[in-house]
Amino acid sequence: WCFPFCAAAIALLETASADNWPRFRGENGSGLSEQPGIPVQWTENDYAWKAELPHVGHSAPVIWEKTLFVTSATEGGSERFLHCLDADSGKQRWQASVKLGESKKHLKNSWASSTPTTDGQRVYVMFADSEKLMITAWDFAGTQVWTKDLGSYESEHNLGVSPIIQDGLLIVPNDQVGPSNLLALNPETGET
């Protein structure tokens, strides 16, 4: 399985006042951008590039300056991927993966639906199977900095929530069937 991934026009990325898009739905979670010239409806002429990524994923991309991150997973979810691309060209800089158990999911979901978040130093990704809910941090060079196992995970639809950075903390929603919680982690170490 492959899924096409398209990026916005390069002119949007090159503007001097370009905003980072560090989390699901952008800077403040509103899904709105202050950038001028973003089309309301997209045509082939509005893309600077397209990149074919392996496997399947429903996460949104996040961008910090010239670096773009997005996730995918193998069918069944036994391997989950974080892709780092050059935001100007769409060329893959590196790819990291984690092995998890195969798990069920909703028909309209994927095993890579959680959107990463970034603070410009590290990128943070959540993946889950029935045995564990993990959040992992990588630096922008592709080195895994830390990983934290939050315990078992049970959901009718599989993981869909996304972490965010707020006030210097990595906020992790552990929303599942049964006991759930909201964690604030140190982005440098993963400590609660």
- 188 within 8 A of 138, measured Cβ to Cβ: no
**Does residue 58 register a pLDDT over 70?**
yes
- 132 within 8 A of 100, measured Cβ to Cβ: yes
Q: 145 φ, ψ to 5°?
A: -90, -45
**Separation between Cα atoms, residue 152 and residue 103, nearest integer Å:** 12
**Separation between Cα atoms, residue 26 and residue 31, nearest integer Å:** 5
> Could you read off the pLDDT of 76-114 as tens digits, one per residue?
888 999 999 999 999 999 999 999 988 777 777 888 889
Judge if pTM exceeds 0.95. Answer: no
> Could you read off the pLDDT of 142-183 as tens digits, one per residue?
999 999 999 888 887 788 899 999 999 999 999 888 888 899
- In sign, the C-alpha dihedral spanning 23, 27, 32, 35 is negative
Of 18 and 183, which is predicted with more confidence?
183
Q: Which pLDDT band, with edges at 50, 70 and 90, does 45 fall under? A: confident
> Could you read off the pLDDT of 61-73 as tens digits, one per residue?
999 999 999 999 9
- 103 within 8 A of 77, measured Cβ to Cβ: yes
As given in the structure block, the two tokens for residue 84 are: 């780092």
